[in-house]
Structure 1
Amino acid sequence: MELQIQLKLEANCDFHLARDCILRVFVVLPAVNDAPLAQLEVQVSGSKIQNGVRFSAWEKRFPFQTHNEQTKSVDDQLDDARPKVDYKFMRNAQGELISGGVTGIVELIENGTALKTPYPGPEMDLHIRDIAKEADIYHRIGPHKRLARMLDHPDEGLVLEFMRNGDLKTYLQSKSSIPIDLKVKWAYQVAEAVDLLHKNDVIHCDIKPRNTLLDTCFDTKIIDFSGSSLDGSRPTSGESTRFFLPRHWKDPSTVATDLFALGSTIYEAFYATSPYRDIASDEVERLYNKMSSLVYQTNHGDR
């Protein structure tokens, strides 16, 4: 069965929610009768966006999982969205599904490595280019303790070392207590990783606990550069609301926006929840903008 879905956000909609629905492909839906595939059409219009924007390029099939947990923030719901369909409906699956994102699918294959392959469909060429850019970033930086190792870049995608302890967000959610010295170590290590990227002219554009993996020694490795900016190139990814430095939505990601996302990531490492988790995304945006104005006034006075 195939379900046709139209998401239309009007007037005072939370634009970050719209952007996240588009960029992340997975969208949180009310309970539906186990439809395995869906097609998403997103139209955003209203006072926050001049003349409206229609994201017809993102009309595509995508897997989804329903959520009924009202205690979670929208960003947590989007970030936690896990595909529950068999990816064999969409491509020739090669292993056990680990995750999926903007650009492609990550699977654990038989030899114990992780394979990242592009989504099929009309935008597949764009996804292939994004994965090639990710390979370029790995080649430029070279092997480093704060990066997952790229093992190969065959035609079908990107082969990376597999981290059995998973991502930082999932680990934080699974533990009731984590030693403070481990959290401090993570803060230093994630900051080291971001500094490494910036020194190599890479803006990550989506720093968050989900994009931080843990190795067997519980050291962190930053991942997912397919949507990043390399040498000033246009990124194809963006931060979710609680990691988003207040700015016009058309403004590009920069070192400063990465550092803001880093701060939110370190906050979540210490408190096991993203900033303002229990507040709606549009209110978080308002609070961030207010704080940004206060900082500017403190730094610049009445000039």
Structure 2
Amino acid sequence: METLPDILKKVGRLPMISHGISGVVFALSESHVIKKPLPGKSEKDQVDIERRIYERLGSHPYITKYFGARDGMIVLERLEYPLRKRLQDLRDDNKLPMADDVVRWASQVTQAIQHVHSQGVMQVDIGAGNVLLNRYGTTKLSDFAGSSLDKSKPLIAPSAHSEHPNMPYTKPSIQSELFAVGSLLYEIETTKVPYADKNDGELERLFKADVYPDTTNLILGEVITKCWMAQYQDASEVVVDIQNIQKN
């Protein structure tokens, strides 16, 4: 039976699952993947930060499991696909997520964010593309390449749909993170990012004026608006509000 070091030597011949700006993800087995950084110092730095963050975070039910690192590569649990793909599939079928799924996913991702923040980490690039689903439909926060650890400078930028111009990603804070959480929750319920038809310049003008999509008829509407309007002190307050929605 091959050992992990033996497998890692032939990682380039493993089936590729996905790739991003920092690295390539290969299938190691049915339950594990391995992430290899792209050539270049910045990409290696991003994956190294990701390794350090996973080691800091430890085990959490709504964060991708980390199994270790070797030769600059990290081994993670293998999940199904991004939450964004599920939302896009629903949108293509002119459907919306079921209410139970909306609240359950919202509860899971905000609990994950709460834990991340408690460990001195700012995820920075919060969005449905960095939330993965397992075979049971449970969400797992993923991809910390370039995130901020102990106030380090982020090595990655968020989507303009998730960034308030007065809260620049270069100086991540609880408020900038929760603003992005608001946009994520909006996407979870509507299947679309806020102002999906607007360009970056238009988004900046709207957000700077605190003009946001109407959330009146959304289950998570009040929570989303409070995230966008910086009315939460930390993620734990978001978690509590969502749990209260679940109870009702």
TM-score normalised to the size of structure 2?
A: 0.75
The answer to whether the Cα contact below 8 Å between 2:11 and 2:26 also exists between their aligned partners in 1 is no
Equivalent in the alignment of 1:109: 28
Q: Which residue of 2 aligns with 1:130?
A: 46
Q: Which structure has the bigger radius of gyration?
A: 1
Q: CA deviation at 1:167?
A: 0.6
Q: Quick one: which of 147, 156, 163 aligns to 2:79? A: 163
Q: Which runs of 5+ in 2 are unaligned?
A: 1-9, 212-228, 231-248
- Secondary structure (helix, strand or coil) at the match of 1:106 reads strand
Structure 1 spans left out of the alignment, 5+ residues: 1-90, 297-303
Per the alignment, residue 274 of structure 1 pairs with 193
- Gap change, CA 1:94 and 1:245, over 3 Å in 2: farther
Q: Letter of the aligned partner of 2:62 in structure 1?
A: R
Give the C-alpha shift of residue 281 in structure 1: 2.4
Please point out which of 93, 105, 111 is paired with 1:192: 111
The answer (yes or no) to whether the contact 1:205–1:229 under 8 Å persists in 2 is yes
Separation in 1, partners of 2:140, 2:169: 29
Q: Which residue of 2 aligns with 1:149?
A: 65
RMSD: 2.1
Deviation at 1:137, TM superposition (A): 1.4
C-alpha contact 2:164 2:176 (8 A) present in aligned 1:
yes
Q: TM-score normalised to the size of structure 1?
A: 0.62
Q: Does 1:214 align with 2:214?
A: no
SS in 2 for 1:153: strand
Pair 1:249–1:182, CA change in 2 (3 A): closer
1:1-303 to 2 correspondences below 5 Å? 93-110=12-29, 112-120=31-39, 123=40, 125-164=41-80, 166-175=81-90, 176-247=95-166, 251-291=170-210
> Helix, strand or coil for the counterpart of 2:144?
coil
Q: CA deviation at 1:112?
A: 4.2
Deviations 1:246-291 (A, max 9, x none): 2375741221111111110000000001000122221111100011
- Structure with bigger helix share is 2
AA aligned opposite 1:147: I
In the comparison of the two structures, how many residue pairs are matched? Answer: 200
